[in-house]
Amino acid sequence: MNGLVIGKFMPPHQGHKYLVDFARNYCDKLTVMVCSIQQEPIEGKLRHEWMKESFPDVNVIHHSAEIPQEPKDHPDFWQIWHDAIYKMLPEGADCLFASEDYGIRLAEVLGMKYIPATRDVISISGTEIRNNPMKHWDYILPAAKPYFLKRVCIFGPESTGKTTIAKNLAAYFKTIAVPEYARGLLDLKGGKCDYEDIELIARGQIASEDALARQANRILFCDTDILTTEIWSDILFGKCPQWIKDTKRDYDLYLLLDTNVPFVPDSQRYLPDSRQLSLERCIQELEKKGKKYVIISGNWEERLEKAKQEAEKLIGKDNIKEIV
């Protein structure tokens, strides 16, 4: 028996997982059709990729034609959808699985048997998730979570506590911190940085963040980013690979750490007397690129408390209880 599931999956959530799992356990072969139009808030191509990743053993296809979305939109609504579905799936299916009433009429139009899946098992909607993903985080399927993740970059000059604050914030919010990739790489060279290391550092920082985004809980704290790599490349070598300058990485907030704490030397800190100039360069770059940032000053305890407050604003105070 061949089955069909149709939906927007905007985003895919645990209710969809139940529907797809129910259907593939019921029939021998299952096709899931992800339907999208351009005006929707989440790109259809992304949703198709999320569903393919979430259900690798299912035939997941993407229908992106601009056709009516509700019966009231066109007098031939049902025939249009009949033709569109059979164009995508010429062999058709024996049964249509759905958890909403539209499935009864659509199955009739398609000449398929309607198999209901109980919606009450997992009561959540894509609209609820889109309106407050932080509150409904646990309902979002893992493939889609990085899309909704809040990202905070801990940014600033040398020896201002970036690594410590990133780790402490991650512990407080029960999530994860992306380490500074350069430190582990340059430790292998006794702390010495050569120009050819710059590309390795940038690629490693991007790869680390994208890998750890899958494990984060609502918010991800990044100990520096590739803008930091760009600044340091310009400071140390007077140049930077163009692809690094051209690469855009989006963060919901930069926490820019002030220099009013003691400098602690180590093998990877190069300019103890230039931290204020470095801070000014950081501000200049953030403003030039239109990044949202907050300067975090004070002693170590004050910095951590201010950083927590700024991160809480991103998640929403009503949602903090879901985490801490």
Domain of 70, CATH number, reads 3.40.50.620
pLDDT surpasses 70 at 70: yes
Do 71 and 94 share a structural domain? Answer: yes
Whether 263 has a pLDDT exceeding 90, the answer reads no
Q: Which of 107-116, 136-145, 258-267 has the lowest mean pLDDT?
A: 258-267
Same-domain check for residues 118 and 171: no
Q: Is the domain of 218 the same as that of 283?
A: yes
Average pLDDT for residues 290-308, to the nearest whole number? 94
- Rounded Cα distance between 284 and 299, Å, is 24
What pTM value is reported for the model? Answer: 0.88
Residue 238: the pLDDT is 93
The one-letter amino acid code at 30 reads L
Residue 287 lies in a domain: yes
Q: Do 93 and 234 reside in the same domain of the chain?
A: no
Q: Are residues 229 and 310 in the same domain?
A: yes
Q: Which of 72, 74, 76, 89 is nearest to 35 (CA)?
A: 89
Q: Tell me the average pLDDT across 166-192.
A: 92
- Do 250 and 179 reside in the same domain of the chain? yes
End-of-domain residue from the set 136, 170, 193:
136
pLDDT above 90: percentage of residues in the chain: 77
Sheet holding 29-35, edge to edge: 59-63, 29-35, 2-7, 95-98, 113-116
> Residue 264 — very low, low, confident or very high, per pLDDT cuts 50/70/90?
low
Rounded to an integer, what distance in angstroms lies between the CA atom of residue 7 and that of residue 50?
Answer: 13
Give me the mean pLDDT over the 39-45 stretch: 96
Name all contacts of 231-237 with Cβ < 8 Å and 24+ positions apart: 231/278, 231/281, 231/282, 231/285, 232/193, 232/198, 233/195, 233/198, 235/271, 235/278, 235/281, 236/193, 236/195, 236/270, 237/195, 237/198
Whether 235 has a pLDDT exceeding 90, the answer reads no
**117 and 27 inside one domain:** yes
Question: What gap in Å lies between CA 150 and CA 35, rounded to an integer?
Answer: 27
Average pLDDT, the chain: 91
For residue 70, being part of any structural domain is answered with: yes
pLDDT of residue 6: 96
The single-letter code of the amino acid at 99 is S
Mark which of 103, 136, 169 sits at the end of a domain. Answer: 136
Among candidate residues 92, 112, 136, the one where a domain is terminated: 136
Q: Range of 61's domain?
A: 2-136
Residue corresponding to tokens 């985004």: 213
Taking a C-beta distance cutoff of 8 angstroms, is the pair 97, 19 a contact? Answer: yes
With 0-12 CB in 10 A as exposed, 13-18 as middle and 19+ as buried, what is 312?
middle
- Say which CATH number the domain at 202 has: 3.40.50.300
State whether 63 and 194 are in the same domain.
no
Residues 231 and 279 grouped into a single domain = yes
Distance in angstroms (rounded) separating the CA atoms of residues 107 and 232:
61
| Total structural domains within the chain | 2
> What are the two backbone dihedrals, phi and then psi, of residue 141, each rounded to the nearest 5 degrees?
-70, 150
Q: Tell whether 253 is covered by a domain.
A: yes
Mean pLDDT for the stretch of residues 68-88:
93
The tally of CA atoms less than 13 A away on the side-chain side of residue 95 is 18
Q: How far apart are CA 73 and CA 71, in angstroms?
A: 5
Say yes or no: 22 and 101 in one domain: yes
Q: Which of 119, 150, 285 is nearest to 222 (CA)?
A: 150
Residues 289 and 166 in one domain: yes
- Would the CA dihedral through 206, 208, 210, 216 be positive or negative? negative
Beta strand pairing call for 150-155 and 219-223: parallel
Q: Is residue 73 part of a domain?
A: yes
Domain assignment present for residue 141? The answer is: no
For residue 144, the model assigns a pLDDT of: 98
State the pLDDT at residue 265. Answer: 57
pLDDT value of position 220: 98
Q: Which of 101-105, 191-195, 205-209 holds the top average pLDDT?
A: 205-209
| 191 occurs within a structural domain | yes
Task: Kindly tell me if the per-residue pLDDT of 26 is higher than 80.
Answer: yes
Instruction: Report the 10 Å Cβ neighbour count for 220.
Output: 26
In a domain, 153, yes or no: yes
pLDDT tens digits, 112-169: 999 998 767 788 899 999 999 999 999 999 999 999 999 999 998 877 889 999 999 9
**In this predicted structure, what is the pLDDT of residue 272?**
58
User: Mean per-residue pLDDT for 100-117?
Assistant: 92
230 pLDDT higher than 70: yes
| DSSP-assigned letters across all residues of 159-204 | TSSHHHHHHHHHHHTTSEEE--HHHHHHHTTTT---HHHHHHHHHH
Residue 40 has pLDDT above 80, yes or no: yes
**b/e code 15-51 from CB counts within 10 Å (16+ = b):** bbebbbebbbeebeebbbbbbbeeeeebebebbbbbb
For residue 183, pLDDT beyond 90: no
pLDDT of residue 271: 61
For residue 155, tell me if it sits in a domain: yes
Same domain? For 193 and 281 the reply is: yes
